[in-house]
Structure 1
Amino acid sequence: MKQTIRALGLRKRYGDVAAVDDVSFEVAEGEFFGILGPNGAGKTTTLEIIEGLREADGGEVSVLGLPPWPRNPALLPRIGVQLQASSFFERLTAREQLRTFASLYGVPARRADAMLEDVGLADKAGVQVEKLSGGQAQRLSIACALVHDPELVFLDEPTAALDPQARRNLWDVLRRVNTEGRTIVLTTHYMDEAEALCDRVAIMDAGRVLELGPPASLVRGLDAPTRVGVATGTLPLGEARALPGADDATDDGVSLVISTRDPSAVVAAMAARNALDGVRIQGATLEDVFLGLTGREYRA
Protein backbone atom coordinates (compact mmCIF):
# COMPACT_ATOMS: atom_id res chain seq x y z
CA MET A 1 0.00 0.00 0.00
CA LYS A 2 1.02 3.61 -0.55
CA GLN A 3 2.73 5.05 2.53
CA THR A 4 1.48 8.38 3.86
CA ILE A 5 4.15 8.73 6.58
CA ARG A 6 7.67 7.31 6.74
CA ALA A 7 9.68 7.92 9.89
CA LEU A 8 13.18 6.45 10.19
CA GLY A 9 15.41 6.78 13.24
CA LEU A 10 13.85 9.99 14.58
CA ARG A 11 15.71 11.58 17.51
CA LYS A 12 15.09 14.61 19.68
CA ARG A 13 16.90 15.55 22.89
CA TYR A 14 16.31 18.23 25.50
CA GLY A 15 19.49 18.41 27.52
CA ASP A 16 20.05 14.98 29.02
CA VAL A 17 16.55 13.77 28.16
CA ALA A 18 16.01 11.73 24.99
CA ALA A 19 12.40 12.69 24.23
CA VAL A 20 12.47 10.74 20.96
CA ASP A 21 15.07 8.00 20.67
CA ASP A 22 15.42 6.18 17.33
CA VAL A 23 11.68 6.05 16.46
CA SER A 24 10.75 4.37 13.18
CA PHE A 25 7.38 3.47 11.68
CA GLU A 26 5.25 3.85 8.56
CA VAL A 27 1.59 4.75 8.17
CA ALA A 28 -0.31 3.52 5.12
CA GLU A 29 -2.74 5.58 3.12
CA GLY A 30 -6.23 5.37 4.65
CA GLU A 31 -4.94 3.82 7.89
CA PHE A 32 -6.12 4.78 11.38
CA PHE A 33 -2.83 4.70 13.30
CA GLY A 34 -2.47 5.16 17.07
CA ILE A 35 0.51 6.23 19.17
CA LEU A 36 0.15 5.15 22.80
CA GLY A 37 2.29 5.73 25.84
CA PRO A 38 2.40 7.10 29.39
CA ASN A 39 3.10 10.74 30.16
CA GLY A 40 6.55 11.70 28.91
CA ALA A 41 6.77 8.78 26.49
CA GLY A 42 7.54 11.06 23.53
CA LYS A 43 4.20 10.81 21.73
CA THR A 44 3.53 14.51 21.26
CA THR A 45 7.14 15.34 20.34
CA THR A 46 7.10 12.57 17.72
CA LEU A 47 3.86 13.93 16.32
CA GLU A 48 5.18 17.50 16.24
CA ILE A 49 8.27 16.41 14.30
CA ILE A 50 6.11 14.63 11.72
CA GLU A 51 3.74 17.60 11.49
CA GLY A 52 6.65 19.94 10.81
CA LEU A 53 6.16 21.88 14.04
CA ARG A 54 9.50 20.82 15.53
CA GLU A 55 12.89 20.03 14.05
CA ALA A 56 14.34 16.59 14.73
CA ASP A 57 17.94 16.23 15.91
CA GLY A 58 18.36 13.19 13.67
CA GLY A 59 16.59 10.71 11.45
CA GLU A 60 14.42 11.09 8.39
CA VAL A 61 10.71 11.72 7.92
CA SER A 62 8.47 12.18 4.90
CA VAL A 63 4.78 13.10 4.89
CA LEU A 64 2.80 12.52 1.70
CA GLY A 65 6.15 12.11 -0.03
CA LEU A 66 7.49 15.49 1.16
CA PRO A 67 9.82 16.58 4.00
CA PRO A 68 7.82 18.42 6.70
CA TRP A 69 10.85 20.42 7.94
CA PRO A 70 11.76 23.17 7.26
CA ARG A 71 8.10 24.13 7.48
CA ASN A 72 6.77 23.01 4.11
CA PRO A 73 4.01 25.25 2.67
CA ALA A 74 3.14 22.58 0.10
CA LEU A 75 1.99 20.27 2.91
CA LEU A 76 -0.24 22.74 4.75
CA PRO A 77 -3.35 22.34 2.55
CA ARG A 78 -2.96 18.55 2.61
CA ILE A 79 -2.81 17.97 6.37
CA GLY A 80 -5.10 18.81 9.28
CA VAL A 81 -3.83 19.17 12.84
CA GLN A 82 -5.82 19.09 16.09
CA LEU A 83 -3.48 19.90 18.98
CA GLN A 84 -3.73 18.78 22.61
CA ALA A 85 -4.91 22.24 23.70
CA SER A 86 -7.48 23.89 21.45
CA SER A 87 -7.38 27.67 21.05
CA PHE A 88 -10.18 29.63 19.38
CA PHE A 89 -10.63 33.26 18.49
CA GLU A 90 -12.48 34.90 21.36
CA ARG A 91 -16.14 35.90 21.12
CA LEU A 92 -16.72 34.23 17.77
CA THR A 93 -19.60 31.84 17.31
CA ALA A 94 -18.95 28.27 16.19
CA ARG A 95 -19.98 29.21 12.64
CA GLU A 96 -17.76 32.30 12.59
CA GLN A 97 -14.85 30.34 14.01
CA LEU A 98 -15.07 27.64 11.37
CA ARG A 99 -15.62 30.12 8.54
CA THR A 100 -12.50 31.98 9.67
CA PHE A 101 -10.42 28.79 9.50
CA ALA A 102 -11.96 27.96 6.12
CA SER A 103 -11.05 31.38 4.73
CA LEU A 104 -7.36 30.76 5.52
CA TYR A 105 -7.44 27.94 2.95
CA GLY A 106 -9.70 29.69 0.45
CA VAL A 107 -12.56 27.34 1.32
CA PRO A 108 -16.06 28.79 0.77
CA ALA A 109 -18.35 29.48 3.73
CA ARG A 110 -20.85 26.85 2.58
CA ARG A 111 -18.19 24.16 3.10
CA ALA A 112 -17.63 25.41 6.66
CA ASP A 113 -21.38 25.33 7.33
CA ALA A 114 -21.61 21.78 5.97
CA MET A 115 -18.74 20.72 8.25
CA LEU A 116 -20.70 21.97 11.29
CA GLU A 117 -23.44 19.57 10.25
CA ASP A 118 -20.93 16.75 9.79
CA VAL A 119 -19.68 17.04 13.38
CA GLY A 120 -23.14 17.49 14.88
CA LEU A 121 -22.83 21.19 15.72
CA ALA A 122 -25.37 22.72 13.33
CA ASP A 123 -27.67 23.56 16.25
CA LYS A 124 -24.74 25.32 18.01
CA ALA A 125 -23.71 27.42 15.02
CA GLY A 126 -24.71 30.68 16.69
CA VAL A 127 -23.20 29.87 20.10
CA GLN A 128 -19.96 31.59 21.14
CA VAL A 129 -17.11 29.13 21.46
CA GLU A 130 -16.60 30.04 25.14
CA LYS A 131 -20.07 28.66 25.87
CA LEU A 132 -19.62 25.29 24.17
CA SER A 133 -19.25 22.17 26.31
CA GLY A 134 -15.95 20.29 26.34
CA GLY A 135 -17.19 17.70 23.85
CA GLN A 136 -18.65 20.35 21.57
CA ALA A 137 -15.41 22.35 21.63
CA GLN A 138 -13.44 19.22 20.73
CA ARG A 139 -15.75 18.51 17.81
CA LEU A 140 -15.35 22.10 16.64
CA SER A 141 -11.57 21.74 16.91
CA ILE A 142 -11.70 18.63 14.73
CA ALA A 143 -14.00 20.44 12.28
CA CYS A 144 -11.36 23.20 12.00
CA ALA A 145 -8.75 20.54 11.21
CA LEU A 146 -10.99 19.00 8.53
CA VAL A 147 -12.63 22.01 6.92
CA HIS A 148 -10.11 22.19 4.05
CA ASP A 149 -10.57 18.46 3.28
CA PRO A 150 -7.02 17.28 4.14
CA GLU A 151 -5.66 13.90 3.11
CA LEU A 152 -3.96 13.32 6.47
CA VAL A 153 -5.27 14.28 9.94
CA PHE A 154 -3.27 14.42 13.19
CA LEU A 155 -5.23 14.21 16.45
CA ASP A 156 -3.36 14.66 19.74
CA GLU A 157 -5.47 13.23 22.59
CA PRO A 158 -8.76 14.48 21.11
CA THR A 159 -10.97 12.95 23.81
CA ALA A 160 -8.94 13.95 26.89
CA ALA A 161 -11.19 15.10 29.76
CA LEU A 162 -14.40 14.27 27.90
CA ASP A 163 -17.25 12.37 29.55
CA PRO A 164 -18.06 8.85 28.24
CA GLN A 165 -20.98 10.01 26.09
CA ALA A 166 -18.96 12.80 24.48
CA ARG A 167 -16.09 10.36 23.83
CA ARG A 168 -18.35 7.87 22.08
CA ASN A 169 -19.96 10.59 19.97
CA LEU A 170 -16.53 11.79 18.93
CA TRP A 171 -15.52 8.23 18.04
CA ASP A 172 -18.42 8.11 15.58
CA VAL A 173 -17.16 11.32 13.96
CA LEU A 174 -13.63 9.94 13.66
CA ARG A 175 -14.80 6.61 12.21
CA ARG A 176 -16.77 8.47 9.56
CA VAL A 177 -13.77 10.68 8.72
CA ASN A 178 -11.59 7.60 8.30
CA THR A 179 -14.11 5.67 6.18
CA GLU A 180 -14.22 8.67 3.83
CA GLY A 181 -10.62 7.83 2.94
CA ARG A 182 -8.57 10.10 5.18
CA THR A 183 -5.50 8.82 7.00
CA ILE A 184 -5.66 9.52 10.74
CA VAL A 185 -2.81 9.53 13.26
CA LEU A 186 -4.03 9.60 16.85
CA THR A 187 -2.33 9.84 20.23
CA THR A 188 -4.36 8.73 23.23
CA HIS A 189 -4.10 7.50 26.81
CA TYR A 190 -7.28 5.44 26.46
CA MET A 191 -6.64 1.81 25.54
CA ASP A 192 -10.32 1.11 24.78
CA GLU A 193 -10.25 4.04 22.35
CA ALA A 194 -7.22 2.63 20.53
CA GLU A 195 -8.79 -0.84 20.36
CA ALA A 196 -12.06 0.56 19.01
CA LEU A 197 -10.58 2.91 16.41
CA CYS A 198 -7.05 1.99 15.34
CA ASP A 199 -5.93 -0.41 12.62
CA ARG A 200 -2.45 -0.45 14.16
CA VAL A 201 -0.81 1.08 17.22
CA ALA A 202 2.72 1.93 18.29
CA ILE A 203 3.30 1.69 22.04
CA MET A 204 6.01 4.12 23.18
CA ASP A 205 7.91 4.68 26.40
CA ALA A 206 11.04 6.68 27.20
CA GLY A 207 11.15 7.96 23.62
CA ARG A 208 11.20 4.52 21.98
CA VAL A 209 8.66 2.32 20.19
CA LEU A 210 8.32 -0.87 22.25
CA GLU A 211 5.70 -2.68 20.17
CA LEU A 212 3.88 -2.00 16.91
CA GLY A 213 0.99 -3.83 15.30
CA PRO A 214 -2.78 -4.32 15.16
CA PRO A 215 -4.29 -4.19 18.67
CA ALA A 216 -5.78 -7.68 18.38
CA SER A 217 -2.42 -9.15 17.33
CA LEU A 218 -0.61 -7.51 20.25
CA VAL A 219 -3.23 -8.88 22.66
CA ARG A 220 -2.99 -12.39 21.19
CA GLY A 221 0.78 -12.30 21.64
CA LEU A 222 0.44 -11.61 25.35
CA ASP A 223 0.66 -14.55 27.74
CA ALA A 224 -2.04 -13.28 30.11
CA PRO A 225 -4.71 -15.17 32.04
CA THR A 226 -8.45 -14.88 31.56
CA ARG A 227 -10.32 -13.24 34.44
CA VAL A 228 -13.58 -14.73 35.67
CA GLY A 229 -15.44 -12.41 38.01
CA VAL A 230 -18.52 -12.69 40.24
CA ALA A 231 -19.84 -10.65 43.15
CA THR A 232 -18.11 -10.89 46.51
CA GLY A 233 -19.70 -13.61 48.63
CA THR A 234 -20.58 -15.87 45.71
CA LEU A 235 -17.72 -18.19 46.72
CA PRO A 236 -15.29 -18.11 49.66
CA LEU A 237 -11.88 -16.88 48.52
CA GLY A 238 -10.11 -20.06 49.59
CA GLU A 239 -12.59 -22.23 47.69
CA ALA A 240 -12.21 -20.05 44.59
CA ARG A 241 -8.43 -20.47 44.67
CA ALA A 242 -8.85 -24.24 44.90
CA LEU A 243 -11.14 -24.54 41.85
CA PRO A 244 -9.88 -26.77 39.02
CA GLY A 245 -7.99 -24.59 36.53
CA ALA A 246 -7.69 -21.57 38.86
CA ASP A 247 -4.27 -19.90 38.97
CA ASP A 248 -5.19 -17.32 41.60
CA ALA A 249 -8.14 -15.41 43.03
CA THR A 250 -8.59 -12.00 44.62
CA ASP A 251 -11.49 -10.37 46.44
CA ASP A 252 -11.64 -6.58 46.90
CA GLY A 253 -14.91 -6.62 48.81
CA VAL A 254 -16.95 -5.92 45.68
CA SER A 255 -15.86 -8.57 43.19
CA LEU A 256 -14.25 -11.98 43.39
CA VAL A 257 -11.92 -12.40 40.41
CA ILE A 258 -10.35 -15.72 39.45
CA SER A 259 -7.34 -15.74 37.13
CA THR A 260 -7.06 -18.79 34.89
CA ARG A 261 -5.59 -20.13 31.68
CA ASP A 262 -8.35 -22.76 31.56
CA PRO A 263 -11.56 -20.72 31.83
CA SER A 264 -13.80 -23.62 30.74
CA ALA A 265 -12.67 -25.72 33.72
CA VAL A 266 -13.20 -22.81 36.14
CA VAL A 267 -16.64 -21.97 34.77
CA ALA A 268 -17.69 -25.64 34.87
CA ALA A 269 -16.55 -25.90 38.49
CA MET A 270 -18.41 -22.70 39.38
CA ALA A 271 -21.55 -23.97 37.62
CA ALA A 272 -21.41 -27.14 39.70
CA ARG A 273 -21.48 -24.91 42.79
CA ASN A 274 -24.30 -22.73 41.40
CA ALA A 275 -21.94 -19.75 41.51
CA LEU A 276 -22.40 -18.17 38.08
CA ASP A 277 -24.88 -15.39 38.90
CA GLY A 278 -23.61 -12.19 37.29
CA VAL A 279 -20.46 -13.89 36.01
CA ARG A 280 -18.11 -11.78 33.88
CA ILE A 281 -15.40 -13.33 31.73
CA GLN A 282 -12.68 -11.07 30.40
CA GLY A 283 -9.66 -11.99 28.34
CA ALA A 284 -6.51 -9.93 27.91
CA THR A 285 -6.89 -6.40 26.56
CA LEU A 286 -4.64 -3.79 25.02
CA GLU A 287 -4.36 -2.29 28.50
CA ASP A 288 -2.69 -5.52 29.68
CA VAL A 289 -0.21 -5.23 26.80
CA PHE A 290 0.42 -1.57 27.62
CA LEU A 291 1.00 -2.19 31.33
CA GLY A 292 3.15 -5.21 30.62
CA LEU A 293 5.44 -3.08 28.47
CA THR A 294 5.48 0.22 30.37
CA GLY A 295 4.92 -0.94 33.96
CA ARG A 296 2.40 0.14 36.57
CA GLU A 297 4.29 2.84 38.42
CA TYR A 298 2.78 6.29 38.64
CA ARG A 299 3.87 8.77 35.96
CA ALA A 300 3.73 12.48 36.79
Structure 2
Amino acid sequence: VLYDNLTGLETLYFFADLKAVPRRECAALLDKVGLTAAAGRRVREYSKGMRQRLGFAQALLGTPRLLFLDEPTTGLDPGAIRDFYRILRELKGEGVTMVLTSHILAEIQERVDRLAIMEGGQIRATGTVQALREAMNLPLTLEIAGGAGLREQVTRALEGLAIDGIEESGSLLHIRLARDAKMPALTRLATLGDTLRDLHVREPSLEDVFFGYRA
Protein backbone atom coordinates (compact mmCIF):
# COMPACT_ATOMS: atom_id res chain seq x y z
CA VAL A 1 0.00 0.00 0.00
CA LEU A 2 1.29 3.44 -0.94
CA TYR A 3 0.20 6.54 0.97
CA ASP A 4 -1.00 9.30 -1.37
CA ASN A 5 0.01 12.14 0.94
CA LEU A 6 3.69 11.09 1.03
CA THR A 7 6.24 11.92 -1.63
CA GLY A 8 8.10 9.20 -3.45
CA LEU A 9 11.18 9.71 -1.31
CA GLU A 10 9.16 9.86 1.92
CA THR A 11 7.49 6.59 0.92
CA LEU A 12 10.86 4.87 0.66
CA TYR A 13 11.97 6.43 3.95
CA PHE A 14 8.85 4.96 5.58
CA PHE A 15 9.50 1.45 4.27
CA ALA A 16 13.22 1.73 4.98
CA ASP A 17 12.40 2.45 8.62
CA LEU A 18 10.05 -0.55 8.73
CA LYS A 19 12.77 -2.79 7.33
CA ALA A 20 15.54 -1.26 9.46
CA VAL A 21 17.37 -0.27 6.27
CA PRO A 22 19.50 2.92 6.16
CA ARG A 23 17.62 5.80 4.54
CA ARG A 24 20.68 6.60 2.46
CA GLU A 25 19.70 3.71 0.12
CA CYS A 26 16.46 5.41 -0.88
CA ALA A 27 17.61 8.10 -3.30
CA ALA A 28 19.78 5.62 -5.21
CA LEU A 29 16.85 3.21 -5.56
CA LEU A 30 14.58 5.95 -6.90
CA ASP A 31 17.25 6.71 -9.47
CA LYS A 32 17.55 3.01 -10.31
CA VAL A 33 13.85 2.82 -11.23
CA GLY A 34 13.79 6.19 -13.01
CA LEU A 35 11.91 8.23 -10.41
CA THR A 36 14.54 10.76 -9.32
CA ALA A 37 12.71 13.63 -11.02
CA ALA A 38 9.49 12.68 -9.18
CA ALA A 39 11.09 12.06 -5.77
CA GLY A 40 9.55 15.18 -4.26
CA ARG A 41 6.08 14.75 -5.77
CA ARG A 42 3.15 13.37 -3.79
CA VAL A 43 2.25 9.80 -4.68
CA ARG A 44 -1.32 10.96 -5.45
CA GLU A 45 0.17 12.64 -8.54
CA TYR A 46 1.88 9.46 -9.74
CA SER A 47 0.63 7.53 -12.75
CA LYS A 48 -0.04 3.80 -12.46
CA GLY A 49 3.33 3.05 -14.04
CA MET A 50 5.13 5.37 -11.63
CA ARG A 51 3.41 3.65 -8.70
CA GLN A 52 4.60 0.32 -10.07
CA ARG A 53 8.17 1.60 -10.22
CA LEU A 54 7.93 2.99 -6.70
CA GLY A 55 6.65 -0.36 -5.45
CA PHE A 56 9.56 -2.07 -7.17
CA ALA A 57 12.02 0.31 -5.50
CA GLN A 58 10.41 -0.50 -2.13
CA ALA A 59 10.85 -4.22 -2.81
CA LEU A 60 14.56 -3.69 -3.47
CA LEU A 61 15.22 -2.00 -0.13
CA GLY A 62 17.71 -3.95 1.94
CA THR A 63 19.22 -6.00 -0.92
CA PRO A 64 16.80 -8.95 -0.63
CA ARG A 65 17.90 -12.44 -1.70
CA LEU A 66 14.35 -13.46 -2.67
CA LEU A 67 11.80 -11.31 -4.52
CA PHE A 68 8.14 -12.04 -5.23
CA LEU A 69 6.80 -9.83 -8.05
CA ASP A 70 3.10 -9.93 -8.96
CA GLU A 71 2.30 -8.52 -12.43
CA PRO A 72 5.21 -6.07 -12.03
CA THR A 73 5.08 -4.52 -15.51
CA THR A 74 1.38 -3.57 -15.47
CA GLY A 75 1.10 0.08 -16.49
CA LEU A 76 4.73 0.39 -17.61
CA ASP A 77 5.63 1.76 -21.03
CA PRO A 78 8.00 -0.24 -23.31
CA GLY A 79 11.07 1.66 -22.15
CA ALA A 80 10.26 1.10 -18.49
CA ILE A 81 9.61 -2.62 -19.14
CA ARG A 82 13.02 -2.92 -20.78
CA ASP A 83 14.66 -1.17 -17.81
CA PHE A 84 12.76 -3.39 -15.36
CA TYR A 85 14.05 -6.59 -16.95
CA ARG A 86 17.55 -5.12 -17.17
CA ILE A 87 17.47 -4.64 -13.40
CA LEU A 88 16.22 -8.22 -12.96
CA ARG A 89 19.15 -9.50 -15.03
CA GLU A 90 21.54 -7.56 -12.81
CA LEU A 91 19.90 -8.98 -9.68
CA LYS A 92 20.09 -12.49 -11.11
CA GLY A 93 23.81 -11.98 -11.67
CA GLU A 94 24.10 -11.11 -7.98
CA GLY A 95 22.43 -14.38 -7.00
CA VAL A 96 18.95 -13.05 -6.22
CA THR A 97 16.06 -15.49 -6.74
CA MET A 98 12.91 -13.99 -8.28
CA VAL A 99 9.41 -15.43 -8.48
CA LEU A 100 7.33 -13.49 -10.99
CA THR A 101 3.64 -13.93 -11.81
CA SER A 102 2.31 -12.61 -15.10
CA HIS A 103 -0.51 -13.03 -17.59
CA ILE A 104 1.59 -11.39 -20.32
CA LEU A 105 3.09 -14.62 -21.59
CA ALA A 106 4.81 -13.22 -24.69
CA GLU A 107 6.74 -10.81 -22.48
CA ILE A 108 8.21 -13.44 -20.16
CA GLN A 109 8.78 -16.45 -22.41
CA GLU A 110 12.39 -15.53 -23.24
CA ARG A 111 13.14 -14.04 -19.81
CA VAL A 112 12.54 -16.83 -17.29
CA ASP A 113 14.71 -19.80 -16.36
CA ARG A 114 11.84 -21.96 -15.17
CA LEU A 115 8.11 -21.52 -15.07
CA ALA A 116 5.02 -23.06 -13.56
CA ILE A 117 1.75 -23.09 -15.46
CA MET A 118 -1.27 -22.63 -13.21
CA GLU A 119 -4.88 -23.22 -14.18
CA GLY A 120 -7.86 -23.37 -11.85
CA GLY A 121 -5.61 -22.70 -8.86
CA GLN A 122 -3.51 -25.80 -9.57
CA ILE A 123 0.02 -26.13 -10.93
CA ARG A 124 -0.33 -28.09 -14.15
CA ALA A 125 3.31 -28.22 -15.25
CA THR A 126 6.77 -26.93 -14.36
CA GLY A 127 10.01 -26.68 -16.32
CA THR A 128 11.86 -24.57 -18.83
CA VAL A 129 9.91 -23.07 -21.72
CA GLN A 130 11.59 -25.44 -24.18
CA ALA A 131 11.01 -28.49 -21.98
CA LEU A 132 7.30 -27.70 -21.76
CA ARG A 133 7.14 -27.17 -25.52
CA GLU A 134 8.66 -30.58 -26.08
CA ALA A 135 6.49 -32.24 -23.44
CA MET A 136 3.35 -30.92 -25.14
CA ASN A 137 4.71 -32.05 -28.53
CA LEU A 138 3.06 -29.05 -30.18
CA PRO A 139 3.67 -28.61 -33.91
CA LEU A 140 6.31 -26.23 -35.22
CA THR A 141 5.90 -23.75 -38.05
CA LEU A 142 8.41 -23.32 -40.88
CA GLU A 143 8.15 -19.93 -42.56
CA ILE A 144 9.67 -20.10 -46.04
CA ALA A 145 10.24 -17.35 -48.60
CA GLY A 146 10.95 -18.19 -52.23
CA GLY A 147 10.17 -17.63 -55.86
CA ALA A 148 7.60 -18.89 -58.33
CA GLY A 149 6.44 -22.48 -57.93
CA LEU A 150 7.64 -22.58 -54.33
CA ARG A 151 4.58 -24.35 -52.96
CA GLU A 152 4.70 -27.16 -55.49
CA GLN A 153 8.42 -27.79 -54.96
CA VAL A 154 8.15 -27.68 -51.18
CA THR A 155 5.11 -29.98 -51.17
CA ARG A 156 7.00 -32.55 -53.26
CA ALA A 157 10.11 -32.27 -51.09
CA LEU A 158 8.16 -32.87 -47.88
CA GLU A 159 5.99 -35.70 -49.18
CA GLY A 160 5.56 -38.45 -46.60
CA LEU A 161 6.43 -36.32 -43.57
CA ALA A 162 3.99 -35.48 -40.76
CA ILE A 163 2.75 -32.16 -42.14
CA ASP A 164 -0.28 -30.58 -40.41
CA GLY A 165 -0.90 -28.00 -43.10
CA ILE A 166 0.57 -25.54 -45.61
CA GLU A 167 -0.70 -21.98 -45.92
CA GLU A 168 0.41 -19.48 -48.54
CA SER A 169 0.63 -15.74 -47.94
CA GLY A 170 2.10 -13.82 -50.86
CA SER A 171 5.62 -15.12 -51.37
CA LEU A 172 5.64 -16.87 -47.98
CA LEU A 173 4.70 -20.42 -47.05
CA HIS A 174 3.72 -21.34 -43.51
CA ILE A 175 4.14 -25.07 -42.87
CA ARG A 176 2.93 -26.70 -39.65
CA LEU A 177 4.65 -29.98 -38.90
CA ALA A 178 5.26 -32.38 -36.06
CA ARG A 179 8.33 -31.70 -33.91
CA ASP A 180 10.01 -34.99 -34.86
CA ALA A 181 9.65 -34.05 -38.53
CA LYS A 182 11.69 -30.86 -38.17
CA MET A 183 15.15 -32.16 -39.00
CA PRO A 184 14.01 -34.44 -41.88
CA ALA A 185 12.08 -31.47 -43.31
CA LEU A 186 15.07 -29.12 -43.07
CA THR A 187 17.31 -31.75 -44.70
CA ARG A 188 14.93 -32.09 -47.64
CA LEU A 189 14.37 -28.36 -48.00
CA ALA A 190 18.13 -27.81 -48.18
CA THR A 191 18.13 -29.72 -51.49
CA LEU A 192 15.96 -27.00 -53.10
CA GLY A 193 18.92 -24.64 -53.23
CA ASP A 194 18.23 -21.19 -54.66
CA THR A 195 14.49 -21.85 -54.77
CA LEU A 196 14.48 -20.81 -51.11
CA ARG A 197 15.36 -17.23 -50.23
CA ASP A 198 14.82 -17.48 -46.47
CA LEU A 199 13.58 -19.88 -43.79
CA HIS A 200 12.57 -19.41 -40.15
CA VAL A 201 11.64 -22.07 -37.62
CA ARG A 202 8.86 -20.80 -35.34
CA GLU A 203 8.60 -22.61 -32.03
CA PRO A 204 5.20 -22.72 -30.29
CA SER A 205 4.74 -19.62 -28.16
CA LEU A 206 4.34 -19.81 -24.40
CA GLU A 207 0.69 -18.90 -25.00
CA ASP A 208 0.35 -22.00 -27.21
CA VAL A 209 1.89 -24.10 -24.44
CA PHE A 210 -0.42 -22.60 -21.81
CA PHE A 211 -3.57 -23.31 -23.79
CA GLY A 212 -2.24 -26.77 -24.62
CA TYR A 213 -2.19 -27.59 -20.90
CA ARG A 214 -5.67 -26.16 -20.45
CA ALA A 215 -7.12 -28.31 -23.26
TM-score bin, normalised by smaller chain: 0.7 to 0.9
- Aligned to 2:126, what secondary structure does the other structure show? strand
CA drift of 1:268 comes to 3.0
- % identity of equivalent residues: 35
Q: Given residue 101 of structure 1, which amino acid in structure 2 is its aligned partner?
A: F
* Contact 2:49–2:74, Cα closer than 8 Å, also in 1: no
Q: Spell out, residue by residue over 1:182-240, the C-alpha distance to the aligned partner (whole angstroms, 9 max, x if none).
A: 32211112334433332221111122211112223223334233312257x96679648
Aligned to 2:197: 276
| Equivalence map 1:58-77=2 (5 Å) | none
Q: What is residue 184 of structure 1 aligned with on the other side?
A: 98
Q: Distance in 2 between the 1:118 and 1:150 partners?
A: 15
- Code of the residue aligned with 1:268 in structure 2: it is A
Query: Which aligned pairs between 1:134-213 and structure 2 lie closer than 5 A?
Result: 134-213=48-127
* Secondary structure, counterpart of 2:109 in structure 1: helix
Query: Matches of 1:89 and 1:270 in 2, distance apart?
Result: 66
Structure 2, unpaired ranges of 5+: none
Say whether residues 1:225 and 2:145 are aligned partners. no
Instruction: Give the distance between the partners of 2:10 and 2:187, measured in 1 at CA.
Output: 62
Considering Cα pairs closer than 8 Å and 6+ residues apart, tell me whether 1 or 2 has the greater RCO.
1
Structure 1, unpaired ranges of 5+: 1-86, 296-300
By how many angstroms is 1:142 displaced?
Answer: 0.9
Give the aligned partner of residue 210 of structure 2.
Answer: 290
Q: 1:266: how far off?
A: 6.2
By how many angstroms is 1:140 displaced?
1.3
Pick aligned residue for 2:186 from 264, 271, 292: 264
Q: Is the 8 A contact 2:166 2:176 kept in 1?
A: yes
Q: Deviations over 1:72-103 (max 9, x none)?
A: xxxxxxxxxxxxxxx42114332122122212
Give the residue type in structure 2 aligned to 1:276: R
Moved more, 161-170 or 108-117: 161-170
Distance (Å, rounded) in 2 between the aligned partners of 1:222 and 1:236? 34
Letter in 1 for 2:65: E
* 1:242 pairs with 2:155: yes
Letter in 2 for 1:249: I
The match for 1:90 is 4
Query: Secondary structure, in 3 states, of the residue corresponding to 1:196?
Result: coil
Judging by fraction of residues, say which structure has more helix: 2
Distance 1:198 1:287, change over 3 A: same
RMSD, aligned CA: 3.1
Give the 5 Å matches for 1:33-52: none
Q: Tell me which of 34, 49, 70 is aligned to 1:120.
A: 34
Q: Is the 8 A contact 1:227 1:281 kept in 2?
A: yes
Tell me, in whole angstroms, the C-alpha distance in 1 between the residues paired with 2:171 and 2:6.
49
Q: Aligned pair count?
A: 206
After TM superposition, the score normalised by the length of structure 1 is 0.57
Contact 2:3 2:11 (8 Å CA) reproduced: yes
Give the 3-state SS of the residue equivalent to 1:153 in structure 2.
strand
Change (3 A) 1:138 1:237: farther
Measured against aligned partners, the alpha-carbon deviations of 1:143-200 in whole angstroms (never above 9, x if no partner) come to 1122133332211111134343322221112222333233221111233443333222
Contact 1:102–1:108 (8 Å) recurs in 2: yes
Query: Is the partner of 1:140 in helix, strand or coil?
Result: helix
